[in-house]
Structure formats: C-alpha cells, structure tokens
C-alpha cells in the first residue's frame, strides 16, 4: 500500500480541526476548503508534511 502524500497527511490532521470548529459542514465543502487552504500555504508551511511523506516512502 502506498503512503499518503503530503497533502493527504496534512488534510487528515486539518480535517479534524475543521470539524471541531464547524461540525455540520458537509464533506464535499470540507474537501474544497482543505484544497484552497493547502494551495494558499507556503512551501515552508508544507515542508513538515513533505518530509513526513518522504520518510514514509522509504
């Protein structure tokens, strides 16, 4: 089984946070919000998840 990519690792954590803040949000809306937020993040903000992905890929 392939490891999750950097976005999926981040989204797994972020989805939990968003659901706590807005428990009634529909899953499709949540996915759209996650995509927008990920695209707006800097490379530096994404780096921990990229590193985690690379480590899991070894």
Q: The domain containing residue 29 runs over which residues?
A: 6-57
What total number of domains does the chain contain?
A: 1
Position 1 in a domain: no
Helices (H), 1-58: 6-21, 27-40, 43-57
Q: Are 18 and 25 in contact (CB under 8 A)?
A: yes
Position 49 in a domain: yes
Q: What is the pLDDT of residues 8-49, one digit of tens each?
A: 999 999 999 999 998 899 999 999 999 999 999 999 999 999
User: Is pLDDT at 1 greater than 90 in this prediction?
Assistant: no
Longest CA pairwise span in the chain (Å): 38
The total number of residues written for the chain in this structure: 58
Domain at 17, CATH number: 1.10.30.10
Position 13 in a domain: yes
């Amino acid at each position: 089984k392939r490891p999750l990519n950097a976005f999926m690792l981040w989204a797994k954590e972020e989805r939990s946070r968003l659901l706590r803040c807005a428990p009634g949000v529909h899953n499709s809306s949540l996915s759209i919000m996650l995509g927008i937020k990920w695209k707006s993040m800097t490379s530096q903000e994404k780096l921990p998840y990229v590193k985690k992905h690379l480590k899991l890929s070894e």
